Structure 1
Amino acid sequence: MSDIPAARNTMSVLRHLASRPGPVRASSLARELELPRSSIYQLLAVMIDEGFVVHYPEDRTYGLSALVSEIGTSALRSERLSRLATSLMHNLASAAPIPVVAHLAVLSGPEVSYAARVQGSRAPTTVSAVGVRLPAHLTATGRAMLAQLTAAQVRAIYPSRSALTRRQSAGPQTLPELTQLLATTRERGWAIEIGDVTADYASVGAAAFDRNGYPSAAIGLTFRTDAVANNWDELGAATVAAARALTARLTGRAS
């Protein structure tokens, strides 16, 4: 197994800080981890810059930031969502009139992160593997969630006036174009993406909500564009039904 001392020492510092009830001094870290004090200060400076560690200058101590717990919470949230959604996704994929891949995505800033994936019979290969991140405005699941946010929330996610990311020379290029697309998505009740992520592939998606009415996840179906024929409405309605069922599981309320 290859050994990268800086990476191993970084993990040691994080683990040590996590095991303590409060912030600690750099000298204590150096002594207990048996590392040069200069190395400890260098590691702490990088971790502070990356947002993982907080410096308390009044006490000359260091402690973990909220980012560490947020990362853990995010991982647990994705795992919980996956458990709640997987059976719904299996049913969705098996009942689809064409070969599909069902996936579960969560919104993370301007990206979606795939938390679960179920491949139906004879389903095509897709990029939506668990852990993969894609621009939210290009995916059906991302559009489904973005469409349920306020205009101010969408602007906060896309504050720049520069062109939006594109993969296939397709999809919205500007915030006004995205705003119009999201309005159409809200009116329809579910999102569509055709060739914006992968040429010759298309997707539909619908958002699921938590107790506060926030779109905490979205369920989507991806399939080959030449296979969909007249099944758009059927696929969209089925995805909406699965998303509503997930909402019921998330909230404890009947859909």
Structure 2
Amino acid sequence: MGRRVPAVSRALDILELFLDGDGTLSAPEITRRLQLPRTTVHELVTTLAARSYLVPVPEQPGRYRLGVRTYQLGSRYAEQLDLAAEGQQVARAVAETCGETVHVAVLEDADVIYVAKVDSTHAVRMVSAAGRRLPAHCTAVGKMLLASLPAEELDERLPKDGELAAMTPNSITDAAELRRVLDEVRERGVAAEQRESNPDVSCVAAPVLDRSGQVVAALSISVPMIRWSEERQRELTGLAVEGAGRLSERLGHHARG
């Protein structure tokens, strides 16, 4: 590995400061927060501004905001992202940690489609495949994705009342009941299902966000009932949240503290 260039690292440190707060900073604020010499900050800010990575704020003399060059780089990065490829890498890491089957899924109409999948290392495991399509209301990933929709869009995809198709005796078939469950998922920020899509499997799921903060997918961990318990559910929920968070970061989402 080559030597790191201090000046480049400091310039990047300056740019990353703009990820928090109101998006504007002055040179004295940068100096204070990074504990750098005032002259060094002045030279770096001047250089970044000359290259359009920073621009002065017209109505606030002495303050800067991110320039168009950062937007161009971010847009190019976003164009190159592949949810399936990024999801497969994260799913593999999560599966290596828990030993269970991990999926990443997206919502299409009222169904979910698995775009990435890594198998459990156990002999007894869930059998599925990337590309498989299932009714969203029968799955943890589907509940997570449905709960993330605006109310009007949810109404377009699901009936407000009436019967829903069942995959197992445990599937939710009442539309009103499903909406109550989705309210709970929305409040908790995670979803679960017990033997609703497969009579021998339970799942937990967490949301995946893109750079704009929109939920674009969900990551789930599926477990045969012989290895399912309340304690295991809590443990796997935490791993699903962590994995979904890592995938969100790969898609450009920046979680604010």
Normalization by structure 2: what TM-score?
0.63
User: SS of the residue aligned with 2:251?
Assistant: helix
For residues 52-131 of structure 1, the aligned pairs below 5 Å read 80-96=82-98, 99-122=99-122, 124-131=124-131
Counterpart-to-counterpart distance in 2, 1:254 and 1:83: 22
Q: Give the aligned partner of residue 239 of structure 1.
A: 240
User: SS of the residue aligned with 1:251?
Assistant: coil
C-alpha displacement of 1:204: 0.6
Greater shift in the superposed pair: 159-168 or 231-240? 159-168
Q: Give the aligned partner of residue 145 of structure 2.
A: 145
Q: Which amino acid aligns with 1:191?
A: A
C-alpha displacement of 1:90: 1.4
C-alpha displacement of 1:94: 1.4
Q: Give the aligned partner of residue 13 of structure 1.
A: none
Counterpart-to-counterpart distance in 1, 2:88 and 2:214: 20
User: SS of the residue aligned with 1:107?
Assistant: strand
Contact 2:212 2:253 in 1 (8 A): no
Q: Which amino acid aligns with 2:239?
A: A
Structure 2 unmatched ranges of 5 or more: 1-78
Greater shift in the superposed pair: 100-109 or 211-220? 211-220
Greater shift in the superposed pair: 206-215 or 241-250? 206-215
Contact 2:204 2:240 in 1 (8 A): yes
C-alpha displacement of 1:127: 4.3
Q: Let me know the Cα RMSD of the aligned residues.
A: 2.0
Counterpart-to-counterpart distance in 2, 1:123 and 1:207: 28
User: SS of the residue aligned with 1:122?
Assistant: coil
C-alpha displacement of 1:128: 3.0
Contact 1:137 1:178 in 2 (8 A): yes
Counterpart-to-counterpart distance in 1, 2:181 and 2:156: 17
Counterpart-to-counterpart distance in 2, 1:123 and 1:193: 22
Identity %: 31
The answer to whether structure 1 residue 154 and structure 2 residue 135 are counterparts is no
Q: Which amino acid aligns with 1:204?
A: V
Counterpart-to-counterpart distance in 2, 1:134 and 1:88: 22
User: SS of the residue aligned with 2:187?
Assistant: helix
Contact 1:100 1:123 in 2 (8 A): no
Counterpart-to-counterpart distance in 2, 1:144 and 1:217: 9
Structure 1 unmatched ranges of 5 or more: 1-76
User: SS of the residue aligned with 1:164?
Assistant: coil
